[in-house]
Amino acid sequence: MRMRLRGLLIGAVGALLAVGASHLITRALAQTPAPPKPAQTAPASAPDPWAHWPENGPTPEQVMYAQPRLMRQAIARLKPQDPHKIDLYLIAFAGDGSENVFRNEAEYAARLFARRFDADGHTLVLENNPATLQHAPLATWSNLEQALAAVHRVMDPKQDILVLYLTSHGSADHYLLVDMDPMPLDQIGAKDLAGILAEHPFRWKVVVVNACYSGGFVPPLKGPGTLVMTAARKDRSSFGCGSESDITYFGDAFLAHALNRTDNLIAAFGMARKRIASWEKRDGLTPSDPQIEADAGIRARLAAWRSQIRVGKPLAFAPAGSARATCDHHDACRNAEPGLR
């Protein structure tokens, strides 16, 4: 069942939908600044819902109305599968818009899989971040459903492999934070995610949940043809998020380190788990204890996929929007061997 964060705009958005203000659709996003912040009526210690909204960015209403166009553009960039081999498709989901670390990971995962694992044209990123509101679709429940449906159409769901990488904050009752304040977005729980995936019959899928308490996602997600990996067990925090961080412990260990050294996702998880344990011991932290669950079918399918891909060069991590990350998108930069973490 969907849970909503009820923000300041629910009434305004409802009224807007009722009267059909079509002029907002045609208005260029960049031309209209965000509305002034509402008067402060809550105590001074209350969080400001506008704190992470860009000062001169589009309005929340404009962002909402832009989603169909942004999703169409992202979906149009997907390339069809090759019927002569097993293809891998990645959807990356960065849920919390208040910290750049989640955008960094989602975009890096897409670049890494495109370059290393023959997934160029087979990646789609959904992200909540002030810097991407005008050019990337939001990480929302509805957009995730559309992304899964689109990938299901272009791939061979009986042959190819879906990789769903979700990164955000997580709660002790096993919900992912889906947040781009002040927009009211539906939250996604473990059972919700299982239900969303059940609507699209992917025979082979890998689901990675990088969040605190993410081990609670394993029971509803595990099953035939499925590999589930989480950054923590169901009652533990994971580490490395925050405004001062570029990448989480799990993202660093699994994506930036392990997957630059092996094409075996299960082996990469084992490497990452050991690396994370060493960092947590060094920092005096309670072990996060990352979890994994895989049946024999997905293990065999991943082995078959590895046998016929041409693994690309390693790709060093770089924060989204940096010169290095921008360079990664261009062929001229790809000849340089990057330094690895």
- Which domains does the chain show, CATH number per domain? 58-323 (3.40.50.1460)
pLDDT at 340: 60
Task: Please write the tens of the pLDDT for every residue from 98-122.
Answer: 999 999 999 999 999 999 999 999 9
The rounded mean pLDDT for the chain is 86
Tell me: pLDDT of 161 over 80: yes
Tell me: pLDDT of 170 over 70: yes
Contact 249, 240 (CB under 8 A): yes
Residue 47 binned pLDDT confidence (cut-offs 50, 70, 90) = confident
Question: Which sign does the torsion angle of CA 224, 228, 233, 234 carry?
Answer: negative
Name the amino acid, one letter, at 236. Answer: R
Query: Is the bond leading into 58 cis (omega within 30 degrees of zero)?
Result: no
Residue 48 binned pLDDT confidence (cut-offs 50, 70, 90) = confident
- C-alpha torsion angle, residues 84, 304, 117, 149 (rounded to 10): 70
pLDDT at 191: 98
Contact 280, 289 (CB under 8 A): no
Name the pTM for this structure.
Answer: 0.84
Tell me: pLDDT of 151 over 80: yes
Residue 52 binned pLDDT confidence (cut-offs 50, 70, 90) = confident
Identify the residue whose tokens are 């704190």. Answer: 51
Task: Please write the tens of the pLDDT for every residue from 69-87.
Answer: 999 999 999 999 999 999 9
| Pairwise CA distance, residues 165 & 254, whole Å | 12
Higher pLDDT, 276 or 5: 276
Render the burial of 88-120: b for 16+ CB within 10 Å, e for the rest.
Answer: bbbbbbbbbbbbbbbbbbbbbbbbbbbbbbbbe
Nearest CA to 291 among 211, 191, 225?
A: 211
| Pairwise CA distance, residues 126 & 110, whole Å | 11
**% pLDDT > 70, the chain:** 81
Tell me: pLDDT of 5 over 60: no
- Helices vs strands, H then E, count in the chain: 11, 9
Contact 110, 318 (CB under 8 A): no
Task: Please write the tens of the pLDDT for every residue from 210-255.
Answer: 999 999 999 999 999 999 999 999 999 999 998 889 999 999 999 9
Tell me: pLDDT of 51 over 80: no
- DSSP string covering 67-123: HHHHHHHHHHTPPPP-TTS--EEEEEEE-BTT-HHHHHHHHHHHHHHHHHSS-TT-E
Nearest CA to 315 among 45, 46, 120?
A: 120
List the end-to-end C-alpha distance of the chain, in Å, as a whole number: 40
